[in-house]
Structure 1
């Protein structure tokens, strides 16, 4: 087959951007015609084994907004995005046959559900060329100075091995394709109702009043870094609980890949060059390294991150008391600080980093509940759910992950320190809000 007849399919999953998208860049530089596809997989909206819908309304709406933006960004590159509300293994083989696809490009994944989905599609498209491309890390696996199987057990060692010795690759720019790359596209992006949800208004007290999509994510970055220069105070404010600007709020866009960690990193460097460099500018990069760490941990340990005993394979006596679980979910525990944070999550799909650490520690260490149930609830509700960070953090606080100290948060002392005036609790414990 001649090169001019070859066509590439880019299967978008959690890499929903055109800026610094290695998968898209690699597919485009071949010179072949390009088609994009995204599937709203019905499995992502089913009830899991712990009784929670895998994706609740907050992230569902965020995804819909993201796909609308992705479609527009690709349109500007003369690339069509086909969108389906169906199983990838049903949709993709049909597209490949209809459009005479020769090559499939996709982000490299390694966690079970993503790999299982790939295998189902691959079983029906084995004759095609598959290209799995690393696209979600700050430090590229080919550049790190240790074997993935020897990823350090402690974050500090991981960070010290990388931050001064391994370069972050430059961002990639994808060129506009020729106009005859366009195809007829009658596919429709589903609405919330199509996914089984009622439409809703954003909560007036939400600390994340943003929409999904690359455009909104880059706008937030530009505002937080260059318009307000709030980046320069990040380390002082990052443990806050109220408002839009106590933290960067990049995590929901990072989670579905509508912004890349490299884009954030190089903009930090730009800020440091144009304005100033301090502990806060360093600390944002520090947090990006944490994000990478949990990804490398999951690469190293595989499906062990989803098991009760965790990567430490520690055997604790965990409870599955439904009464305790319900009280935690509904903000009816003995801790008003935990309750306020849980109410915020239920009403907005968002919770601060400080809140997450406290409610997760309370769930695992005070209530002694099966930590995977808490992780599953977070997966359902959180706008910024990321499989590696979610399960890595839950293992960490439950004492079966990467924290050798096995600490327990004193939620009362935490409340006194981080909500000394009680303002956060007064917002989220008001009966009138519910």
Structure 2
């Protein structure tokens, strides 16, 4: 509340007029609202995840360069799961209920604090895995729980102010709160590594099932398909930024000389391969009109939403792979050249394959053309690895990996675009969702 200047009263005196701070009722957004786009608040929220993804990518690159493959995967998988899931939970709620008033902004700021705390806990997680005794999740879970508590307050507000969505809001509070108790118990009990990983898998599965439990009998939420698709595209760009970061990190010492102007052939190859691979992956992602697909197949929102978890992890892994390649070329890595190429080719393959699978499942279009382009893409990636086995330099193999990302691009820009247009036409014509 804020005070305004005195106002006259009927008896000639004065009184203070009190003006309420603006707060809108959280009744749910219109899922067909025209022109719905990401808000400045959502874009600011995304900035905190730049730090989280960048930290995880950098830490896993260092472990991979030292040859600790199993430890790197053991730490990277839960880190990326926590980061991406936290972003997903906020984004879907905001698409359905965001009011952008002072309370919504305050609770978003609280979630941003949680993201920062989570990021600060990532080094401890990776270090604990290297030691091999346990999985140090305490700081990560503390940050994650802060974010989830803010979400519980958001759901409580929706339950109070939206009679239509009260049941689904209360169900989300119940199931989300229950899972958080499990996370806290796991983080602060410090069981052996194997037990921790098993318990993490169970709790992760429960997190993924919360929307099923909460919305199964209570109805869905009014999320906006084009808004959700735009938000996912923006987060894809954020994670793709790690490819640029990895390229810069890879090129540092390769420039040579005190002024950094003595470019070598390896430096040129790394810059071209890094930027080209990042650009190719971006192009592949945005060939799929996810917003239009979700408009007609709303019931596949769950598949779209959580199907992006391995996709985002693969993108961050690609950035880490570029960083490892640079460390190898600078003679700061303890792994061989074949392993270096594999560490870039594998996450690239996972990413490109995941985009294809998401397109196929959402469109119900397991067509021969996209199967052919996907097969050719994987074949080019395999060729890059085989060339490394045959003794080709890392820089050359990086260029081959980059070329693989443009195989589906060329396919789409030739025959693929028309084929996808036909599938979308069939979708608009009332095909079964």
What's the TM-score bracket when you normalise by the shorter of the two chains? under 0.3
Higher RCO, 1 vs 2 (CA within 8 Å, ≥6 residues apart):
1
Question: Where is the helix percentage greater, Structure 1 or Structure 2?
Answer: 2
Q: Using structure 1 for the length normalisation, give the TM-score.
A: 0.27
Q: Which of these two proteins has the greater Rg computed from alpha carbons?
A: 2
TM-score by length of 2: 0.27
